[in-house]
């Protein structure tokens, strides 16, 4: 039995298409949580990101749809990966008095720069074919940048 998403993809149920590829279909939600709320669904029923990746298998030794192997299937970053650095920047800006630029003090600026450095390290690792968890480099960079900013502020 076809799922509701298969019926939408096949045009049996009307939808407002945003984008489409050979593997995925994106359309506006009929009960949006916010303006422009878009759903992106795989075209193949039974799709599993862990098993199939995007456009082929993540594992070079596995292919279940005769598609070409890929070094990396996707760049994904969850909202959770960005929460800690954001909380640290906001807390530093609100609760620590001191010099800086506008409302941002040195610890907040350090946390921002440290997060960006951590993001650069993370993206370099992923681009090199070594997927990583996002939290260690992002949070480590934010904390290290915060501590450097705090040290500079208190000197």
In this structure, the number of other CB atoms found within 10 A of the CB of residue 3 comes to 11
Q: For residue 13, what pLDDT is reported?
A: 92
Residue position matching structure tokens 């669904």: 41
The domain in which residue 35 lies consists of 4-43
Q: In this structure, is residue 130 part of a structural domain?
A: yes
Q: For residue 99, what pLDDT is reported?
A: 62
Q: For residue 58, what pLDDT is reported?
A: 45
Categorise residue 66: left if φ over 0, alpha if ψ from -120 to 50, beta otherwise: left
Question: Is 37 a residue whose pLDDT tops 60?
Answer: yes
In this structure, the number of other CB atoms found within 10 A of the CB of residue 130 comes to 10
pTM, two decimals, is 0.49
Q: In this structure, is residue 143 part of a structural domain?
A: yes
Question: Is 16 a residue whose pLDDT tops 80?
Answer: yes
Identify whether the C-beta of residue 127 lies closer than 8 Å to the C-beta of residue 85.
no
Domain tally for the chain?
2
Note whether 35 and 88 are same-domain residues. Answer: no
Q: What is the CATH number of the domain that holds 27?
A: 3.30.428.10
Give pLDDT tens digits for 135-155: 788 888 888 988 888 888 888
Helices 135-154 and 80-95 sit at what angle, rounded to 10 degrees?
10
């Amino acid at each position: 039995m076809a799922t509701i998403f298969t019926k939408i993809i096949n045009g049996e149920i009307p939808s407002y298409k945003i984008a489409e590829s050979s593997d995925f279909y994106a359309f506006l939600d009929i009960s949006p949580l916010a303006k422009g709320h878009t759903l992106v669904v795989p075209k193949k029923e039974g799709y599993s990101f862990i098993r199939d990746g995007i456009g082929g298998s993540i594992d070079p030794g596995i292919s279940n749809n005769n598609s070409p192997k890929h070094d990396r299937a996707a760049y994904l970053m969850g909202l959770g990966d960005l929460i800690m650095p954001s909380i640290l920047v906001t807390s530093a800006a609100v609760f620590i008095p001191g010099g800086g630029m506008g409302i941002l003090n040195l610890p907040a600026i350090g946390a921002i720069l440290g997060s960006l450095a951590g993001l650069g390290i993370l993206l370099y690792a992923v681009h090199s074919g070594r997927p990583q968890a996002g939290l260690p480099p992002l949070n480590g960079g934010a904390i290290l940048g915060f501590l450097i900013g705090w040290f500079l502020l208190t000197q």
